[in-house]
Amino acid sequence: MSDPDVCVVVPTIREYGCVRDYVANARAHGFDTDRLEFCLVTEDDCPTGEMRAMLDDLGVAGGVYDGSARDRWFESHGIAEHRDLIPARSHAQTSFGLLYLWAAGHDYGAFLDDDTRPHEGVDFFGTHLANLAYEGDLVERASDERWVNVLDDAEGDLYPRGYPYAAMDETVERRTTEVSDVVASQGLWTDVPDLDAVRILNDGDLRGQAATRTSSADFPTDFVAARGHYLTVCSMNLAFRREVVPAFYQFPMDDNEWGVGRFDDIWSGLLLKRACDAVGTRLYNGRPLCRHEKAPRSTFDDLADEVAGLELNEHVWEVIDRAEPTLPDGDASGDPLAADGGARVDAYAAVARAVADELVAGDFSTYRNGAFLNRCGERLREWLSCLDALADGGTFRQL
């Protein structure tokens, strides 16, 4: 029997049965499910007993954490003062899964949304882990706007949720490059594409989905985004290495006085991409695909959730981009990637700290709800303090 080394984080309030499909996929393809530990993040009014029974029935490790269970977890780990890092009733509660992974010592993490399902013919977890170990040639995308559209090959001129409106109509460049040191694997989605409400309305759908649907043919090649170029990172189908956790805080949406929501994974992805570029690592995109079976809901409800942050989303990447981290020394060559794992973690923490400083110090008063960016910087600083407290007394290097 293997000890779990992959923490699978599933935020769920209704379709927790998705776990059955992912476990079945793993077993069908010979992936050792003893390697998986599930962290179901839910709410006090959800059927937590049924969720625990499901994990027991499947014979997989894991736990179910509603609000009360999360409070107990924070208390038991001596970090109750950091409880506010996890917003109430928000998709950004996936940050709890990162803390769970960090405390338990898993080497890998995966985020899965509960309205997704794996494709039957693909080894879902095996493909993600193969991506994280990938070394070789791969398509690299860039554009004159410094943004890469992950839906660029799809029909219908689609742009994903979080892609800045000012960066549309970009001129795209593609080339082949040598890729190694992959630290995150973003799987994309068939069926319902991940669009924001404005784009869903523009696509002619009033039920929160999209008139245009995607298929496997819309994702012909896996790729990376060029250094210094950004892309949307959606957490519905994502795997990553432990070392990136300091620079992967899911920003605290929904539960805030400004009403900003729906950009938690998008903004955390910007931070992650900035960190990867600084440290010299890569974010792999494409397969394994999942089916996104998004339930119908009012597009206008999504619009109401997103509108408070739409202007901020146009500019937050520029704030993150201008942060200037000081990385720790690595081995004799000065390369932190060639050093021990602690130095690599320190490097991601250094980038997160620099971004936090930029967000805290910035004057964003000309933007609608600009003070929320200052709050995000404060929370990111606290995130690093919380990870320090979980590290058995160890701390990141103070750079």
Q: What is the mean pLDDT of the chain?
A: 94
The pLDDT of residue 336 is above 50: no
Q: Which of 70-79, 200-209, 213-222, 371-380 has the lowest mean pLDDT?
A: 200-209
Q: What is the rounded CA–CA span in Å between residue 108 and residue 88? A: 26
The pLDDT of residue 83 is above 90: yes
Task: Name the residue with higher pLDDT: 331 or 3.
Answer: 3
> What residue type is assigned to position 309 of the chain?
G
Per-residue model confidence as pLDDT tens digits over 256-306: 999 999 999 999 999 999 999 999 999 999 999 999 999 999 999 999 999
Segment 141-168 shows an average pLDDT of 96
| Residue 93, CA atoms < 13 Å, CB-side half-sphere | 23
- Counting the structural domains of the chain, the total is 1
As given in the structure block, the two tokens for residue 80 are 């109750």
Cα dist. 5→37, 71, 129, 262, 319 in Å? Answer: 8, 24, 11, 29, 34
* 35 assigned to some structural domain: yes
Q: What's the Rg (C-alpha) of the chain?
A: 20
Predicted local distance difference test score (pLDDT) of residue 330: 56
Segment 40-63 shows an average pLDDT of 97
* 99 assigned to some structural domain: yes
- Crossing angle of helices 341-361 and 264-279, in 10° steps, is 120
Per-residue model confidence as pLDDT tens digits over 96-108: 999 999 999 999 9
* 228 assigned to some structural domain: yes
> What residue type is assigned to position 32 of the chain?
D
As given in the structure block, the two tokens for residue 147 are 């943004």
* 395 assigned to some structural domain: no
- Model confidence at 156, pLDDT cuts 50, 70, 90, reads confident
The pLDDT of residue 383 is above 50: yes
User: Are 231 and 285 in contact, with CB atoms under 8 Å apart?
Assistant: yes
* 397 assigned to some structural domain: no
* 1 assigned to some structural domain: no
* 217 assigned to some structural domain: yes
Predicted local distance difference test score (pLDDT) of residue 187: 98
Q: Which of 130-134, 141-145, 393-397 has the lowest mean pLDDT?
A: 393-397
* 399 assigned to some structural domain: no
User: Are 183 and 244 in contact, with CB atoms under 8 Å apart?
Assistant: yes
- Its domain, for residue 57, covers 6-390
Per-residue model confidence as pLDDT tens digits over 345-380: 999 999 999 999 999 999 999 999 999 999 999 999
Segment 105-114 shows an average pLDDT of 98
